[in-house]
Copies of this chain bind each other. A is one copy, B any other.
Amino acid sequence: MNRYKAPTIVQLAKLLGVAPSTVSRAFTDPGKLLPETVDRVRRKASEIGYVPNNHARALITGRSSIVGLIVPDIANPFFPPILRQAQRTAEEQGLSLILADSDGDPERELQLVGRMTPQVEGLVLAASRLPEKSLVTIAERLPTVLVNRDVEGIPRVLVSADEALDLAVATFVRDGHRSLAYVGGPPESWSNAQRASRVERSAREHGLPMARLEAPGGTYSEGFDVARAVTSAGATAVIAFDDVIAHGLISGFQAAGLSVPHDVSVLGCDDTLSTTTYPPLSSISLDLRGAGRLAVETLRASAGPSAAAPARFELEGKLVLRGSTGRAPER
């Protein structure tokens, strides 16, 4: 009933006594028109409230001004900063962002990609759980940027904790720790594999024994439960896949009567919790917002006719020592 039909390009053209194509050009290719004409068209347009119909435009150009973003889990504090900055950057470029959550399920992720494909201009896949093969196929038919997934031939932006992890291990050694534990997160996560192997390598180089433990769901309570295994492995320092697990670990240690960092040092990763734990969590701070921005900028660039090699950006995180790490206990 309150059906309001928006003014169209032909109405505006008729009103001005010009051809529809002239109006079109006034918006999309003003250089081809007399500046005076452009002015006249634009003025009248805003007067009658004309605004280009996105769907009609998308239909003919194939560019929808919409980009899709898929994350495994919106509720994970790792993603909101990426998401937020991605949206903001998209907005600056005149793009809209459509969002979906794959729930960490590769099958569902693939399905979401399928649904999005016809209506988006490009895709950002954050921490994708899809096999490389699928990713390549997707990237072939649609401009795609990966976040935290390193696949040759596809533009990608990675937030890396590698150097900071090296530094962390070195710091632990210097502080007298003689045994280390790493608590892994979701096994399908690329970051998890990356971090685990880096810590392992670094520990080996320092001759530091390392126990490998798991919190596959990446939850607080898993972290809590695995604390026991850390102590029985004899480790005095533990690096967790992320802050959530680290937080659980701290609580687990406290519940077992151990003091952090006096009895055991705990290092998180991602720095999403910052000072909201007690003691304040040492962690590795990542440039998540930068990743969000870079992802859509790269997408935009790679959507063009550029035949340049697919970009690969690596954003190094930095180690932030707070109260949850310290010297090894005297024994």
**Nearest Cβ in chain B — how far from A227, in angstroms?**
13
Q: Is the CB of B55 within 8 A of A84?
A: no
Contacts A80-B80, A141-B4; A118 near B53 (Cβ below 8 A): yes
What are the residues of chain B within 8 A of A100 when measuring CB–CB?
87, 91, 97
Which residue, A52, A97, A98, has most C-beta atoms of chain B within 10 A? A98
Q: Is the CB of A6 within 8 A of B55?
A: no
The interface-forming segment of A58-66, A167-175, A231-239 is A58-66
The interface-forming segment of A24-32, A185-193, A203-211, A246-254 is A246-254
Q: Is the CB of A98 within 8 A of B96?
A: yes
Q: Which of A218-235 contact B (CB under 8 A)?
A: 220-221
**Closest Cβ neighbor of A307 among chain B residues:** B1
Contacts A80-B75, A248-B276, A254-B278; A66 near B98 (Cβ below 8 A): yes
What are the residues of chain B within 8 A of A255 when measuring CB–CB?
278
Q: Which of A74-95 contact B (CB under 8 A)?
A: 74-75, 77, 80-81, 83-84, 87-88, 91
Q: Interface size class for chain A?
A: 35 or more
With A and B bound together, what is the CA distance between A278 and B87 in angstroms? 35
Copies in the complex: 2
What are the residues of chain B within 8 A of A248 when measuring CB–CB?
276
With A and B bound together, what is the CA distance between A248 and B280 in angstroms? 12
User: Quick one: which of B51, B53, B98, B117 contacts A97, CB cutoff 8 A?
Assistant: B98
What are the residues of chain B within 8 A of A221 when measuring CB–CB?
275
Q: Does A197 contact B (CB under 8 A)?
A: no
Q: Does A114 contact B (CB under 8 A)?
A: yes
Which residue, A87, A99, A114, A116, has most C-beta atoms of chain B within 10 A? A99
Which 5 residue pairs of A and B lie closest in terms of their CB atoms, listed nearest first? A4-B141, A55-B58, A75-B80, A54-B119, A55-B55
By a beta-carbon cutoff of 8 Å, the part of chain A in contact with chain B is 1-2, 4, 6, 49, 51-56, 58-59, 64, 66, 74-75, 77, 80-81, 83-84, 87-88, 91, 96-101, 114-119, 140-142, 220-221, 244, 247-248, 251, 254-255, 275-276, 278, 305, 307
Q: A84-B101, A87-B100 are in contact. List 15 more A-B contacts (CB 8 A).
A: A2-B140, A4-B141, A52-B118, A53-B59, A54-B55, A74-B83, A74-B84, A75-B80, A75-B81, A75-B84, A77-B77, A83-B99, A88-B101, A91-B100, A278-B278
